[in-house]
Structure 1
């Protein structure tokens, strides 16, 4: 089972929680157990699992990535000027694997799945593949 999701990002850098979209689709498709792979289709946007209770975590996460990978660096040579976005995506990763049990994503109490935008705003896609 496979699905492509589309979303529109509104900021240059953002973390958009996609947990509920994925869980709703799994429920509609009556997926009881297995594993999903959630994958970004972009070299400047990633997927991560992180805290979804305190919004300051997202703010701090993005700020710290910006500190490590500032948008402009005098030695960057990539002609599009988005080297920082590529580095952030490689650091965060383009995919995550999550277990499904009894129809539910197996995540910790404070965990959510996030689409991480590093070069927006844009129209983006991510894929979810169910492995049973």
Structure 2
């Protein structure tokens, strides 16, 4: 399954936690893992704090410092910085699910990291239910 996210800025972190939680609920998933994967080379996925908006700003500003938009890049499309930021942040996260809810820390949210927007982005969700792999996810006794 997938969710679609419309980004509004060139660079932004979009909280997609509610959409993922809704997908978990719709899938009637009790426990297991959800694999959250960006289907783009210029948009990543991360988990970080969502209580203070300055954290998102600091992440964006730091990435701009590491990978400035204008640089000595060879990629002809002019968006090399976006590709580098996505590789640095990563394209996926694996999130536990217990009792039908995403297992995240108090301040954590799941973000789509837009680096070449605004665009419409697709995020693929793969559900791994505990009962699919009981020996992998359930401790065994000897």
Q: Is the shorter-chain TM-score for this pair beyond 0.5, marking a shared fold? A: yes
Q: Residues of 2 paired with 1:78 and 1:29: CA distance?
A: 40
* Structure 2 unaligned blocks of 5 or more: 130-142
When normalised by structure 2's length, the TM-score is: 0.89
- Gaps of at least 5 residues in structure 1 are none
Tell me what 2:89 maps to.
Answer: 92
- Determine the C-alpha separation between the residues in 2 that align with 1:83 and 1:122: 17
Measure the CA separation in 2 of the matches of 1:28 and 1:129.
13
Matched, 1:18 2:16: yes
Report which of the two structures shows the higher radius of gyration computed on alpha carbons.
2
The answer for the alignment partner of 2:38 in structure 1 is 40
Offset of 1:28 from its aligned partner? 2.4
Say which structure, 1 or 2, has more relative contact order (CA 8 Å, 6+ apart).
1
**Which ranges of 4 or more aligned residues in structure 1 deviate by more than 2 Å?**
none
Counterpart of 2:51 in 1: which secondary structure? coil
Q: Determine the structure 2 residue equivalent to 1:122.
A: 119
Match of 1:102 in 2: 99
Q: Name the count of aligned residue pairs.
A: 129
User: How far has the Cα of 1:25 moved from its partner?
Assistant: 1.8
Q: RMSD of the TM alignment (CA)?
A: 0.7
